[in-house]
Amino acid sequence: MSRRSYNGSAHEKRLSKYRVSDDELFNYVLRVAILSYVMIPKPVGSPRASNSDTKDKEHSSRLSALTNFSIADMFRDVRDGSKSVKFPEKLLKVLEQKLQDIAMGKDPAYSDQLVRRTMAKFYGQFMVDSFKRQMKENRKIEELILMFATHATGVLKKEPTLAGDGWKLELNNQIAHFVKMLRECLRGLHHVSPELLSRLDIYTAKLAPAQAYSDSGYDSSSTSRDRDSVSVPAISSKVSDMQLVQTVARLFKIPEQAIQAEVDQLRGQVVTEKAALMDLKTCLKNINAGAAFPARRDDFDSEAAWNNWKSLETTHLQQLMLAMVGTNPELAKSTPSDNLPSYQPPDSTRPGSVYSIDSSMGNSRHPSISSRRSLFDPTMQGIDELDGDEEIPVGHHFTFIPPNPKKYYQRLVEYCLVADLEVMLSPEVDDNDEVSLGILSPSHLDLISECAIRWRIGHSFRAACFLDLVRQFYERNDVPMECIPEALQGVVKVTSELDIKMWPVHDVDYLSSIYAGLFNIFLSSLYHAMDSLPGLKPSEIEPYLVVLEHVRDSGLLDQFDVDVGARMTDVQDRAKEVCAHWYDLKMQELQSAPGVNRALPLLYMTDEIEKSTKALDKRFPEPILGAIDITSIYVEVAIPRIITELTDSQKRLFEASMNGPTPDVPIEDIFALYRRSKMLMGMYDAFCPNGNFEFEITSFFEPYVRQWLLNTDNKTAQWVEAAIKADNFVAEEGTEGRSSSIVDLFESLRTPINFLQDLEWENDYQEARFFTSLSKTISKAVEQYCRSVENLFLTEMYPRPSEYIQPQKSSAWLEKARQLTITGEKRVEPFNFRPESCVKLNNVEAARKLLDKMYDQMQADKLAEVLIHSAPPVPEKVERERALFSVKIVIAEGLVPPDGSPSSRLDTFVTLSDEAGNRLAKTRTIYESLNPRWEETFDFSVDKPLWLMVSVRDRALVGKHDTVGRAYVCLDPRRFGDFLTHELWMDLDTEGRILVRVSMEGEKDDIQFYFGRGFRSLKRAEGDMLRIFIDKMSPFIQQCLSRNVLKTLMKSRDQGLDYNKALGGVTALYRSALGASSSEVQIPLPQGEKPRLRPEELTDIEIEQAILPLFDYFDANLQTLNTYLSDTAKQMVMSRVWKDILGVIEGLLIPPLSDQPSDMKPLSDKEVDIVFKWLKFLRDYFYANGEGPVPLETIQNQKYRDILSIRLYYDWHTDALMEECVRMMQQSLSAGIPLRKKAKSVYAQKNLGTIKQKKREKKEKKETEATSEQTIMRILRMRPRTQEFIAQQLQIMETMQAEQEKRAREQEERKLKRLASNQSNPLPPVPPLPQT
């Protein structure tokens, strides 16, 4: 830690108030320091002895060493099974640098050349990677020493100055230097095992050469590289030679002269080895006698703990006594034999710091209790024979142990801490210098350790005491936070090597009180750290959490009844208060910003909450201390507040979002609030699963969705207009012939669908209602687009002469059409189609596919199921039920021109108006016809009976249109409640009649219903446009396939015209269609019939030549249709053309079915053959061997087969035809006349799948229905005196059908019960004719 870490200054008087005076403390500490020096005196210089004496003494000393020491003896204790101790891994790095410095001569303490050589040799081996890896793996100090001894042996054996066994003596010295160097390297490392240090001290003592006994009772010797002289060691009385004494003087700030006087006074009188030995013996006796010091049974919770401590303490005391006697045998004379145990190899430790311990708890010994003589000295063998001492009293009678050792020890550690802190804060230490988090200096550590051993302070109390003092200094702000975890490591180490259950009770209580204090301190710090929420960072509280988690997990808080849960609740409450305060300030800040948009502050606040929540969740993924979930607390406070704020602002927000076309709060911001609120509620549910806050988000935002749907509905008309306005109806590439308007429109319609789906509305029923409303909007937009496109289509197909002149192509078929000699008949001008018209039909066809995709995207079927099963109870209906009527204007007959001219033709259209004269619908105009067929359908939604006026009008190019006639129909739900299609022939108020088909179904607010209406609109538009295509082609087809052309062909044969010239005009395209075809249907003639003679005068080429203008017309227009129509639309158009051709061919042969007389005459046999030749040529043209626009299945449909059947009955006798008709009628009656089907429901057209299914069913039904009797009756219309028979047959069919329908209605009586009761209600009166 850096000096800058300290925020206060230490003072020498800032000490705890113990009942220990400074003088008493100084006295006892000084005694221990002096004793330490006495036990291991330092050598000082002495006069040189003569060379001969020196050599003799040196030789004698080395021989003595050889007899008393070996490497095997040195490691015997380890090999005999004592637990191996590993050195710190960092030692290798420190040792590497130390060896390098010695080898390079940079370390003056190891300047001897022989030492440098042995160290350099070992350094070379040390740098080998394999050796380094081996040392890192096992980390055994003995292997390091053995490896050094091996390499040193190699060096020493080659040394010429070491003759004979001299290298063996020098090897001891080299190993001693190496062990000393290891001890120095370990001194600078933290958390060094005390046992490791103790072993090194033992090895040092064993390696020292034997010394001559001196007067002071100590042996000392030294081996120098100076071979000429040997210094004689002696005990100094100077303080300068006493390291620990100097440390005491600096600690208590005693001058050197004064400390020297104190030493002189104490040494020899008070501080003696015998006194130290007596202290140890007294401790042993106190233990056996159960005295209070050093401990007794009552100090432990269990017998096991007491026995464990007693065993360890006794063993340690005995080893200390043995070590003292071993270094000074004279002490054995005053030691009773029963107090001295037989020797065991000591396994002692020396703490590297005040809180370092060994695994044996009490086996530690200080290096001052060591000897520079082998412990296997022969003098130890006579220890049992020494005279005994006087009886030792039990009690606190000590020389070196103070009255209250623990308090003295605590006071000493505090003194050392203050002193070291003063040094750290002194100007001599730079601000950037790194200092130890352990605070204590090595010299103070040595002093504290020496006192702890002499005062019998256990390791548990040492660690707890140091932690307590650091805690106090931290509370006074004298040390940084980092010192607390460092101090805790001492406790952790002690507890890891000795279970806390084995500690003395007072030490456990002491540690518990310290932990309780730490818990209060750091929980308070954590409490105040909550003030940084929501910007709190893990680094701000991580140091507190390390301590709190350690204290909590220790279990010691239970002894003080600390309610951890309550304290955690306090922190949580504080966090909630801070979060609430932060929210209030932030919201006040956001709301104070200028602006009228009330939603913006709420939106900004939701952003802040989301950002803070995600940040806190990332910083604190797990609850703090397993109980304080910061993220959940923040969410629990902030989210309910923002939602409550939103709820309180509901009325203001709604008003601000509805105040005009440009509201103060845009609807987009409201939906942004919805998304943010939904996201926040999701966070709340995730982080607060047990929270009770609820918010009906769907109920809150439902009005806004309804308003948005209304706004969207109002915009759709603009979307349709804009899409059509921007479209020039030119087919885009790769789009199947469609233009931009339909794509643009459906892109616009898809946008609200995506918007609603993106909302992910939680209420399924409400979501289904939203999509239902949107489907109604989509249906309206589709209907509007169909109307707009149809109007443009009609303008192109029926241009006004002043606006558009039909361009005519100069072609052969036009010339031939003009050159035809016709008298008294108006000729039909062929119509050429424009590309734009084709594109419009493509657009309608593409719209059906796009609408079907939209149906699937919305999952309309699923939504319909939701509406059925999830709908709330329906209240009593107040509003009337609505009904949807479909009114189809089919055909008019017998119209009379207003001028009464029989040769005049009418250009008619039909309008439908309500009771007030408002026009509700209008058909297209059918030109030049007194029997016009419109086949157009209109829908009307009513909730009460509605009278419609059906007006047939004659279009005038200039001025007002003339009214041809009127009729009235009432759309009454009670009348049409059977849901069947009703054909109403209504007489006009003038002349003629009109056929109207009316059907009804209930109108429902249902998504499938609205999609069905949309598909119906598209289908009708498509059908109307196809019909107009056919209407434009049909007159020319009728003209080319008319009886006039047939008669002209027959007359031309009589006039003898040259057809070879006409043959040259036939194109090669149709040559393949000439001749008989194998696929032609052959109809056998019944027996008895006279076979017709084929006209030999006319060839097939001549017959085809008669309708050549029709083929040329098809060629000219098929090029346009092929180019601009899509494949589907092209097939539909050509299929309709083929259907129209079949109708024209049928019209040539027989009249329509009716009970009215017909003036149509049957064709001759030759004419019938020509007609069927034309049918064959046209069939081959449209099929073109499979390459034509219409498939063979469509060409040879049921209508085609019915026409072929005409040939079978055409020349039968009248009676035979009647008999065949009756027979077939009987077969039909026995099989059952088909009932009138119900009108096609909107639901049957809800998507393309249902539409195609209905089409298949219709086709299959047509194929099964027999039409031969109708064909026969139509042939009979051309025969005289058959009207009564035909009317009778038709009456029978209608009667039978009515009976079957009656039976069907009776079977469905329950379903139609309401209908039956309403049948008797009279219709409302006919309204008066509106004034025009």
H, E, C per residue of 950-978: EEEEECCCCCCCEEEEEEEEEECCCCCCC
Confidence of residue 1081 (pLDDT cuts 50, 70, 90): very low
Query: Does residue 1332 carry a pLDDT above 80?
Result: no
Neighbours of 1031 (CB within 10 A): 21
Q: Of 1038, 1046, 1001, which Cα lies nearest the Cα of 1165?
A: 1046
Summarised one tens digit per residue, pLDDT across range 905-961 is 788 899 999 888 888 888 888 877 788 888 788 888 887 888 889 999 888 776 788
Q: Is 238 helix (H, G, I), strand (E, B) or coil?
A: coil
Reading phi first (left if > 0) and then psi (alpha if -120 to 50, else beta), residue 131 is in alpha
- 216-267 tens-digit pLDDT: 333 333 333 333 333 334 567 788 888 889 999 999 999 988 999 988 888 8
Rounded Cα–Cα distance for residues 1243 and 1015 (Å): 10
What's the confidence (pLDDT) of residue 578? 94
Q: Is the pLDDT of residue 362 over 50?
A: no
Q: Which two tokens stand for residue 287?
A: 């233990």
User: What is the SS3 assignment for 1158?
Assistant: coil
**pLDDT tens-digit profile of 581-626?**
999 999 999 989 888 888 899 999 999 999 999 999 999 999 998 8
Does pLDDT of 208 surpass 90? no
Mean pLDDT, residues 9-30 = 66
48: alpha, beta or left? (left if phi > 0; alpha if psi -120 to 50): beta
- pLDDT band for position 202 (cuts 50, 70, 90): confident
Residue 161 to residue 988: CA distance in whole angstroms: 152
Comparing 459-463, 501-505, 1070-1074, 1316-1320, the range with the smallest average pLDDT is 1070-1074
Half-sphere exposure of 1042 (CA within 13 A, CB side): 15
Helices (H), 253-334: 256-266, 273-289, 303-327
Q: Among candidates 812, 805, 809, which has minimal Cα distance to 1117?
A: 809
d(CA 591, CA 584): 10
d(C-alpha 254, C-alpha 243), whole Å: 14
Q: In the predicted model, what is the mean pLDDT of the chain? A: 77
Mean pLDDT to the nearest integer, 721-727 = 90
Report angle CA 804, 808, 814 to the nearest 5 degrees.
145
One-letter amino acid of 780:
K
Separation of alpha carbons 884 and 971, rounded Å: 10
d(CA 535, CA 544): 17
pLDDT at position 902 is: 64
Question: Contact, 356 vs 304, CB < 8 A?
Answer: no
The angle at the Cα of 175, spanning 170 to 178, to the nearest 5 degrees, equals 130
**How far apart, in Å, are the Cα atoms of 553 and each of 459, 486, 519, 1274, 1325?**
21, 17, 11, 107, 96
**Which has the closest alpha carbon to 1275: 1144, 1143, 1151?**
1151
- What percentage of the chain carries pLDDT values higher than 70? 75
The C-alpha atoms of residue 387 and residue 293 are separated, in whole angstroms, by 27
- Reported as half-sphere exposure (CB side, CA atoms, 13 A), residue 58 has a value of 23
User: Torsion angle, CA of 230/236/240/243, rounded to 10 degrees?
Assistant: 90
Classify burial at 709, counting beta carbons within 10 Å of its beta carbon; exposed 0-12, middle 13-18, buried 19 or more.
buried
**HEC profile of 1162-1229:** CCCHHHHHHHHHHHHHHHHHHHHHHCCCCCHHHHCCHHHHHHHHHHHHCCCCHHHHHHHHHHHHHHHH
Whether the model clears a pTM of 0.75, i.e. scores above it, the answer is: no
The type of residue at 478 is D
Worst-scoring range by mean pLDDT, 567-581, 607-621, 815-829?
Answer: 815-829
Bridge partners of residue 947, in order along the sequence: 970
Tokens encoding 979: 């849901």
**Measured between alpha carbons, how far is 232 from 214 in angstroms, rounded to an integer?**
10
Residue of 174, 269, 273, 263 whose CA lies nearest to 225: 174
Using DSSP, state whether 601 is helix, strand or coil: helix
Helices (H), 592-629: 599-619
Contact present, 492 and 464 (Cβ < 8 Å): no
Which neighbouring-strand residues pair with 271?
A: 267
Q: Within a 13 Å sphere around the CA of 132, how many CA atoms are in the beta-carbon half?
A: 12
Give residue-wise pLDDT tens across range 301-349: 999 999 999 999 998 888 888 878 877 777 776 555 444 444 333 333 3
b/e 388-422 (16+ beta carbons within 10 angstroms → b): eeeeeeeeeebbbbbebbbbbbbbbbbbbbbbbbe
Read off the DSSP letter of residue 1053: H
Sheet holding 962-971, edge to edge: 919-922, 908-913, 946-954, 962-971
Of the two residues 386 and 412, the one the predictor is more confident about is 412
Average of pLDDT values for 5-33?
A: 64
290 is written with which tokens?
A: 């159960």
Output the six-digit token pair for 1226: 């009987």
How far apart are alpha carbons 558 and 564 in whole angstroms?
Answer: 9
CA–CA dist 1258, 1254 (Å, integer): 6
Task: Please write down the long-range contacts of 450-453, taking CB distance under 8 Å and 24 or more positions apart.
Answer: 450/32, 450/33, 450/36, 450/244, 450/366, 450/368, 451/28, 451/29, 451/32, 451/408, 451/409, 451/412, 452/351, 452/354, 452/409, 453/320, 453/364, 453/365, 453/366, 453/369
